[in-house]
């Protein structure tokens, strides 16, 4: 499985997107955008919160097999299950809307499957998408 290991900081987002795009060469634009978006939301989440004030790495594994794209994000930061976050109320008015909370929600909506586990001191988030 192609793997990228990189420091978990927002500035590296483009490198992560480039890495995923290489695996997805030839993929339709719309699908690519959905995948890019999930990757951004997850990576930025890890970059912003996993290591608090410290720095650390995140690894991204990405592979396509039997029409399924699997992406696995692993970090050694604080234990955090982003899937536990309550979904935002998408029927609320602009005034009632909170600024934020949409990233994980979008990821869940755009991917076919999102799983979280904490194993050997690592947060492991797996995203699966039919392509």
Partner 1 sequence: MTINKTRENETLTVTIEGRLDTTTAPQLEAELKSSLDDIKKLVFDIKDLEYISSAGLRVLLSAQKVMNKQGNMVVKGANESVMEIFEVTGFVDILNIE
- Verify binding: residue 34, partner 1, rule CB under 8 A: yes
Task: Give me the residues paired with residue 68 across strands.
Answer: 65, 130
Stretch that binds partner 1, among 29-37, 51-59, 77-85, 122-130 (CB under 8 A): 29-37
Stretch that binds partner 1, among 34-42, 51-59, 75-83, 118-126 (CB under 8 A): 34-42
Number of other residues whose CB lies within 10 A of the CB of residue 47: 23
Percent helix, strand and coil across the chain, each to the nearest 5 = 35, 30, 35
Taking the C-alpha atoms of residue 89 and residue 70, their distance in angstroms, rounded to an integer, is: 29
Tell me how many residues contact partner 1 (CB under 8 A): 29
Q: Which residues, including other chains, have CB under 8 Å from residue 120's CB and lie 6 or more apart?
A: none
Site for partner 1, residues 48 to 107, rule: CB under 8 A: 88, 90-95, 97, 99-100, 102-103, 105-106
Residues found near partner 1 in the complex (CB under 8 A)? 10-11, 13-14, 29-30, 33-34, 36-37, 40-41, 44, 88, 90-95, 97, 99-100, 102-103, 105-106, 109-110
């Amino acid at each position: 499985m192609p793997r990228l290991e990189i420091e978990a900081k927002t500035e590296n987002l483009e490198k992560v997107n480039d890495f995923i795009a290489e695996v997805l060469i030839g993929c339709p634009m719309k699908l690519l955008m959905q995948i890019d978006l999930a990757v951004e939301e997850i990576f930025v989440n890890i970059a912003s919160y996993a290591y608090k004030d410290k720095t650390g790495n995140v690894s991204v594994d990405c592979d396509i097999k039997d029409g399924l794209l699997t992406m696995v994000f692993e970090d050694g930061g604080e234990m955090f299950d982003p899937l536990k976050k309550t979904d935002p109320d998408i029927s609320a008015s602009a005034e009632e809307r909170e600024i934020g909370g949409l990233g994980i929600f979008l990821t869940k909506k755009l991917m076919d499957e999102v799983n979280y586990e904490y194993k050997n001191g690592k947060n492991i988030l797996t995203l699966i998408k039919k392509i």
